[in-house]
A = this chain, B = another copy of it.
Amino acid sequence: MNADLEQWNGLRQPEPTLPSRYYLDAAHFKLELQKIWYRHWVYLCRSEALPGPRSFGTFKVGTQTVLLVRDDAGVLRAFHNTCRHRGAALCSAESGRLPAAAITCRYHAFTYGLDGKFLRRPLHGRDMPDIEQDLSLYAVPLREWNGFVFVHVGATPAQDPEEYFRADAAALQNWPLGSLRIAHSQERTVACNWKILWENYNECLHCPGVHPNLSRLVPIYRRGIMEPKDDANWSEHAGRAEPEFRGGLRAGAASWTSDGKPHGIPFAGLTTRERELGYLYLSYPPSIYLVAHVDYVRVVQFLPLGPAQTRVSAQWLVAPESLSQPGFDIQPAVEFVTQVMAEDAGICELVQQGLGSEAHQAGVLMPEEYDVYRFQDWVRGELAR
Contact = CB atoms under 8 A, between A and B. Distances in A.
A351 B109 contact: no
Given A14-B133, A108-B205, A351 B88 contact: yes
Contacts of A166: none
A80 B357 contact: yes
A371 to B, nearest CB: 13
Contact of A85 (B63, B232, B353, B363): B363
B64 A122 contact: no
Interface in A105-119: 106-109
A109 B208 contact: yes
Interface in A1-47: 10, 12-14, 17, 20, 38
A81 B357 contact: yes
A171 interface: no
Given A107-B206, A208-B109, A223 B125 contact: yes
Interface residues of A, number: 68
Nearest to A358: B64
- Of the listed residues A12, A84, A121, A129, the one surrounded by the most CB atoms of chain B closer than 10 A to its CB is A129
Contact of A359 (B10, B80, B121): B80
Contacts of A212: none
Contacts of A227: none
A350 B106 contact: yes
Q: Secondary structure of the A side of the interface?
A: loop
A344 to B, nearest CB: 11
A87 B17 contact: yes
Within the oligomer, what is the number of copies of this chain?
A: 3
A276 interface: no
Interface in A343-370: 347, 350-351, 353-360, 363-367
A135 interface: yes
A92 interface: yes
Interface in A52-108: 63-65, 80-90, 92, 106-108
B367 A124 contact: no
Contacts of A258: none
A138 interface: yes
A241 interface: no
B225 A124 contact: yes
A84 B351 contact: no
Contact of A354 (B90, B351, B359): B90
B128 A366 contact: yes
Which are the 9 A-B pairs with shortest beta-carbon distances? Answer: A138-B359, A89-B354, A82-B354, A89-B353, A82-B357, A80-B357, A87-B355, A124-B224, A124-B223
8 contacts: A64-B356, A81-B353, A88-B350, A89-B353, A108-B209, A108-B224, A109-B209, A121-B366
